[in-house]
Amino acid sequence: MLSIKINGRAYAVGLWWQVLNGTKKRDQLDHIRKQVAEFKEEHFNCYVIRNSQFGLGNLEGKIKSYPSLVCALIDRTPDTWLGRFLLEESEGQQLWWVCAVKDGKPLADGDAIFTSLEEADSHLKRFRAISQWETEILTDTVDGTAEQFKGLIKPAQRLRSVEERRIPTSLKLIIFLLILVGGYSAYTKYEEQKLADFKRIQQQMNAKNALDRRKALEEAPEQFFPKVWEQFPDVAHVATLCLPIMQNISLYNNGWALYSTTCDLKTIPPLLKTEWNHTKGARFDAPPVMFGDPASLDTKTPTKAVSSYTLHIECKRPSKELFPKKKAVGKLYQLTAAAQAHINVTWSEPKTHKVSDVIGKPLFFTSPWRHCKWTLSGIPSTAITDQSLLNSLHDLPGVVINHITYLPQGWTITGELYAKN
């Protein structure tokens, strides 16, 4: 057995590995000493215990607690592997080390050292003859060995002397007290450092989270500006629901003349409102009847009768990307001209939003879309009957219908439009 150096650190190689009997430390040590006595011609004077195995070695001079190289490698390498490596002895002499690990355990002669490559290769062939090795590692230089072991060595089990050293009870007590005091002091410092590290990490995490939040806000300003138009029914749905009912209302009902009918989508729930004017010969005690319900006389103007009917409308629409304002305005005016109607449009200023609870300066956002209110008036009945106007409005993203009104003089539609800023 010899001690070698890897990256300036000493390790023990050349141990003879055997199965360890006993579970208690005293029983294990007795078993090791019996093995040493049985093979006294080998002059074993030190040992390493690893799990259910022990390795015996013979080290000249004072026995130092070098870590076993095979034990330092075994936890970070495959369960089964075979290797031959060029190492450098502590005194500077080079030697060859053959290592054989099977199922996570070094074989009896699987931790052997040789002074020549021929001897090492001969020993290697013995292992190849008795078993299959999926993993073989061979190096021909000391630097190559160090590079191969980089990141794999984890010093663990160390050499111990076979001779038991007896420590006086008084000295044991002193050592115990020193360890106890030192341990308490170290534990206190550890806890203080742990708390300081926790606070530092917490501060770093808080700062990072604050920066991440600021960046997320800057990258998605639209989150502060709801897509209001998506909360209103689709134009095609409004047309399908309102127009057939409105177009089928008679001009006269129980002698009362139709004044106006409106599909009001701004109320909750949406309503179909109808107003009637009293005509000569009509009876006040027999007002118009709509959907089986008689209309109510206006308390201020009894010559008017009013009826309302609840509409069941689905407030959903397909998702469409908004047009830029310039394009949306052009489409709106074009469909007005095509319908031979009149339009009045009023644009509002883009909405803004301020976020103060962020790291650094407050953030100011401007809505990515603008909003206008419009009124289409003087709409010919033909544009309503063939639904060309409402079809054109349906094709314009961001359109919201508020009212559709019929008067004997013509049709009027009011609504809103959202467009990209």
Q: Name 112's bridge partners.
A: 98
Whether residue 379 contacts residue 413, with contact meaning beta carbons closer than 8 Å, is answered with yes
Whether residue 362 contacts residue 217, with contact meaning beta carbons closer than 8 Å, is answered with no
Range 295-334 burial, b when 16+ CB lie within 10 A, else e: bebeeeeeebbbbbbebebeeebeeeebbebeebbebbee
Q: How far is CA 138 from CA 235, 385, 397, in A?
A: 78, 91, 72
CATH 3.30.70 positions along the chain are 317-420
Per-residue pLDDT in tens (0 to 9) along the chain, 421 residues: 888 999 888 999 999 999 999 889 899 999 999 999 999 998 999 999 999 999 999 988 888 899 999 999 998 999 999 999 999 987 778 999 999 999 999 999 999 999 999 999 999 999 999 999 989 999 999 999 999 999 899 988 999 999 866 566 778 788 888 888 888 888 889 898 999 888 888 888 877 877 877 787 777 777 888 898 998 999 999 999 999 999 999 999 999 999 999 999 999 899 999 999 999 989 999 999 998 899 999 988 989 999 999 999 888 888 889 999 999 999 999 999 999 999 999 999 988 888 887 777 888 888 889 999 999 999 999 999 888 999 999 999 999 999 999 998 889 999 999 999 8
Distance CA 127, CA 112 (A): 12
pLDDT in tens, 237-275: 999 999 999 999 999 999 999 999 999 999 989 999 999
Helical segments of 220-285, H only: 235-247
Q: Is 242 exposed, middle or buried (0-12, 13-18, 19+ CB in 10 A)?
A: buried
Distance CA 397, CA 404 (A): 19
DSSP string, 187-215: HHHHHHHHHHHHHHHHHHHHHHHHHHHHH
Residue with tokens 């409005």: 393
317-420 maps to which CATH number?
A: 3.30.70
Q: What's the pLDDT score for residue 167?
A: 62
For CA atoms 245, 250, 254, 255, the dihedral sign is positive
Q: What's the pLDDT score for residue 164?
A: 63
Give phi and psi for 393, each to the nearest 5.
-65, -35
Q: Which two tokens stand for residue 345?
A: 């449009």
Residue with tokens 């199965």: 19
How many Cα neighbours within 13 Å face the side chain of 331?
21
Q: What's the pLDDT score for residue 93?
A: 87
Q: What's the pLDDT score for residue 338?
A: 94
Q: What's the pLDDT score for residue 421?
A: 85
Q: Name 406's bridge partners.
A: 261, 411
This prediction has a pTM of 0.50
Whether residue 278 contacts residue 305, with contact meaning beta carbons closer than 8 Å, is answered with yes
